[in-house]
A and B are shown apart, each in its own frame.
Chain A
Amino acid sequence: MSSETKQILTTDGIPLEVSLKKAEKKNKIKAFLLVAPLLLFLIITYIFPIGDMFMRSVDDKMVTNMLPKTFKAMEKWENLDELPPEEVYRGFYEDYKLLAENQQHGKLGQRLNKEKNGFNTITKKLFRQIKRNKIDESASIKEQINKIHKRWRNVEYWQAIKRTAPPYTMAKYLKGMDMYFAADGSIAQVDEDRRIHRILWLRTLEIAFFVTLFCFFMGYPIAHLLATLPMKYSNLLMICVLLPFWTSLLVRTASWMILLQQQGLVNDFFVMIGLVGDDNRPEMMYNKVGTYVAMTQILLPFMVLPLYSVMKTISPSLMRAGKSLGGTPFVAFWKVYFPLTIPGIGAGCLLVFILAIGYYITPALVGGASGTLISNQIAFHMKTTLDWSFASAMGLMLLSGVLVIYWIYNKLVGVDNIKLG
């Protein structure tokens, strides 16, 4: 039939494809308008703040804006092992003079001092010379500045100024991994006794991993019971699972503090049954044990609920079939039931792990020194040192860590296999 190769027309003579697109267009616009508020909400509350966080974490414009003439002149500074030419000195002098007039010179001194120790002293000296009008602008500025302090004659200090020229820097990210830019611009490791962040990252991963593991081993039987018990018991059990879920996080953590402290109920019980001596009560709080116990209890529902929703859909006749075909109860469980719960295990573990990796309040309250996580460090920089750009950098590192875990999970199990309900 020839009509197969011809374009198909509707009864009005419009090509079918055009007509179809027209009909679909309305639906597409409708669908978009329906999700538009959510999209806008996401952009404002999620994408935009993360973008801002990123900008903040790499921002290093302060010096760039303070010393425009210096950096312009530095473009002509070719041999970096020798002191820069006269133009650089002149540019720096003019920039600094302007800063001094605007009372901004102190900030520059501090910032440069972070880059290389000793800057504070020599910029202050320069400031005094300028204030007393000791600098003769018609003569060589280079010679006059070099006379102020011997460090001005040291090329390393000028190299340090040059390093602050780019408006963006990855230094905060390096700092988050206990590394820094060395004087020659290469990446170097912080001294071993000052590497605090790497310990925190590893501890965060370790605690998140074990909390996930504990939640899995405790949550699996609970979820199984929930899914198989008759309605009247399973409802009660469900409430037992959800009741802590509905209680304030702070209240739950506080009750763990009551239970776990050295004069607390758990220790009292151990003493009572003679497990430990009264004068030898173990520390169960302000260390990792406290963090493990409290976090496992708090995150347990996030493991139980996805597991339960998957187990609920598994027909009990499958286990029966496994047994009637000759499998022992264990074989029937391991070969038939367990593989079918993997989507729930995946969802639960991913959920618990990701939540645990960014956990904050509980480790802050019961963790003590050895039980705090990376998020506590982020909060510390947000609230105490006010180094927001460093806090942002670590926050983003945490976020990318979560994305990497998600990616690995997708490669191993497949995200399509996740079932949350």
Chain B
Amino acid sequence: MSKNPEFVKFDKVDKSYDGKVLVVKDLQLDIAEGEFITMLGPSGSGKTTCLMMLAGFETPTHGEILLDGNIISNIPPHKRGIGMVFQNYALFPHMTVYENLAFPLRVRKVEKDEIDKKVDKALSMVSLNGFETRMPAQLSGGQQQRVAVARALVFDPAVVLMDEPLGALDKNLRESMQYEIKHIHESIGVTVVYVTHDQSEALTMSNRIAVFNDGKVQQLSDPAELYEKPVNSFVAEFIGENNTFNGEVTDIDKDKCKVKLANSEILANPISVKSKGEKTTVSLRPERALINPKDKMDNMFTGKIEEVIYHGDHTRVRLNLLGSSEFILKVPNSTSNLELKVSQDIKIGWNSLDARALDPK
């Protein structure tokens, strides 16, 4: 079966609640069949609104949403056949786990034997066999979450929407649930649209990530590219950690540009700057800057250590470098770098390819 690359399609979708402010602006987004796509963004960026429009609880102010080639804007939620996992699970508190899972099947008038079979299968998928007669209140947060996932999948929907489903769980449980959801997705191949504001969650789970800000998709790409090659300073800032330098382009080449800072000059990779005199923000990942690099690097500076924070697997070093005391270094822990001391001067180097000159902040 060939996968439809435009299984879900947002076609020029606008959404406004009050007629004054657009929460979603001219959204153009294609989601392939079987894909795990994450909508990532700060709160108020429009990502949940997009999900609600897809689920049918909100209608687009302009534009169309297509599911498998059919316009669904006028189809009510219960006829869309889209599974949904809610932020607070939304399990029916007066029904047992079995009844919760049977609900979507019963409203579809599935036979009793078939319901039993499907509920059993869905429960074993989230390893909750034997919990059929429990009430939701008798389950832990993680178990409730699994039931919610199983319930959204039990009627074999074409698309499953997840609205920050792991937000209420503690850190360890959240991480194990991330893998579990990812494995479920891989094993049954359902299309998943996942909404979160947690970037590490997005990076771990998704095939592709759409970063939302201000009602617009800022960047749509796979996790590695998103992290390594952010296209603007919002994405660079939002995903992972980031050292920034604000300056002005003084010289520009095909893959190199000179950026003049307050009292020095660095070499950077021109991404969104085109010509001399443009203002820019240069973004550099903390792990791309090395202490006393053995190879020749085209940016070499000396900084003074302001703070050393031990993190177990790595050490964070805050430096005063090029007039800013907010420069962060991530140093993997090995015996060689244990002698880092506050107010010590060290040599730092990075390649201009990793320093991305983006739009000014």
Q: What residues of chain A have their CB less than 8 Å away from a CB belonging to chain B?
A: 315, 317-318, 320-329, 331-332, 335-336, 339-340
- Of chain B, the residue at the smallest CB distance from A325 is B104
Question: A322 vs B77: C-alpha distance in the bound complex, in angstroms?
Answer: 10
A326 contacts B92, C-beta separation under 8 Å: no
A323 contacts B77, C-beta separation under 8 Å: yes
B78 contacts A336, C-beta separation under 8 Å: no
Chain B residues with CB under 8 A of A335? 92, 103
Question: A331 vs B104: C-alpha distance in the bound complex, in angstroms?
Answer: 11
Contacts known (A324-B83, A326-B108); A318 close to B78, Cβ less than 8 A: no
A327 contacts B78, C-beta separation under 8 Å: yes
Question: Residue among B56, B81, B84, B161 with the most chain A CB within 10 A?
Answer: B84
- Of chain B, the residue at the smallest CB distance from A318 is B90
Report whether over half of chain B's contact residues are helix, strand or loop; otherwise say mixed: loop
B103 CB to nearest A CB, Å: 6
B94 contacts A325, C-beta separation under 8 Å: no
Question: A339 vs B95: C-alpha distance in the bound complex, in angstroms?
Answer: 10
Chain A residues with CB under 8 A of B92? 318, 321-322, 335-336
B93 contacts A340, C-beta separation under 8 Å: yes
Question: A131 vs B93: C-alpha distance in the bound complex, in angstroms?
Answer: 85
A233 CB to nearest B CB, Å: 15
Question: A332 vs B83: C-alpha distance in the bound complex, in angstroms?
Answer: 15
A322 contacts B84, C-beta separation under 8 Å: no
Chain A residues with CB under 8 A of B238? none
Q: Is B273 an interface residue (CB 8 A)?
A: no
A339 CB to nearest B CB, Å: 5
A343 CB to nearest B CB, Å: 10
Please report the total number of B residues contacting A with Cβ < 8 Å. Answer: 27
Chain A residues with CB under 8 A of B57? 320, 323-324
Could you tell me which residues of chain B, from 128 to 159, have a CB within 8 Å of some CB in chain A? 151-152, 155
Contacts known (A329-B78, A336-B92, A340-B93); A322 close to B103, Cβ less than 8 A: yes
A315 contacts B90, C-beta separation under 8 Å: yes
Question: A409 vs B155: C-alpha distance in the bound complex, in angstroms?
Answer: 39
Question: A122 vs B107: C-alpha distance in the bound complex, in angstroms?
Answer: 83
- Of chain A, the residue at the smallest CB distance from B57 is A320
Q: Is B319 an interface residue (CB 8 A)?
A: no
A327 contacts B103, C-beta separation under 8 Å: yes
Q: Is B86 an interface residue (CB 8 A)?
A: yes
Chain A residues with CB under 8 A of B84? 320-321, 324-325
B107 contacts A320, C-beta separation under 8 Å: no
B90 contacts A331, C-beta separation under 8 Å: no
Question: A321 vs B77: C-alpha distance in the bound complex, in angstroms?
Answer: 10
Chain A residues with CB under 8 A of B90? 315, 317-318, 320-321
12 contacts between A and B (CB under 8 A): A317-B86, A317-B87, A317-B90, A318-B92, A323-B57, A324-B77, A324-B84, A325-B84, A326-B108, A329-B76, A335-B92, A340-B93
Rank and list the top 4 A-B pairs by shortest CB-CB distance, nearest first.
Answer: A325-B104, A321-B90, A324-B84, A317-B90
Chain B residues with CB under 8 A of A315? 88, 90
B87 CB to nearest A CB, Å: 7
Question: A65 vs B287: C-alpha distance in the bound complex, in angstroms?
Answer: 106
Question: A385 vs B143: C-alpha distance in the bound complex, in angstroms?
Answer: 69
Chain B residues with CB under 8 A of A340? 93-94
A53 CB to nearest B CB, Å: 42
Chain B residues with CB under 8 A of A331? 78, 107
A320 contacts B88, C-beta separation under 8 Å: no
Question: A246 vs B76: C-alpha distance in the bound complex, in angstroms?
Answer: 43
Chain A residues with CB under 8 A of B91? 321
Question: A320 vs B93: C-alpha distance in the bound complex, in angstroms?
Answer: 14
- Of chain A, the residue at the smallest CB distance from B87 is A317
B81 contacts A326, C-beta separation under 8 Å: yes
B86 contacts A325, C-beta separation under 8 Å: no
B86 contacts A326, C-beta separation under 8 Å: no
Q: Beta-carbon contacts of B255-294 to A below 8 Å, as 1s and 0s?
A: 0000000000000000000000000000000000000000
Chain A residues with CB under 8 A of B76? 323, 329
B91 CB to nearest A CB, Å: 8
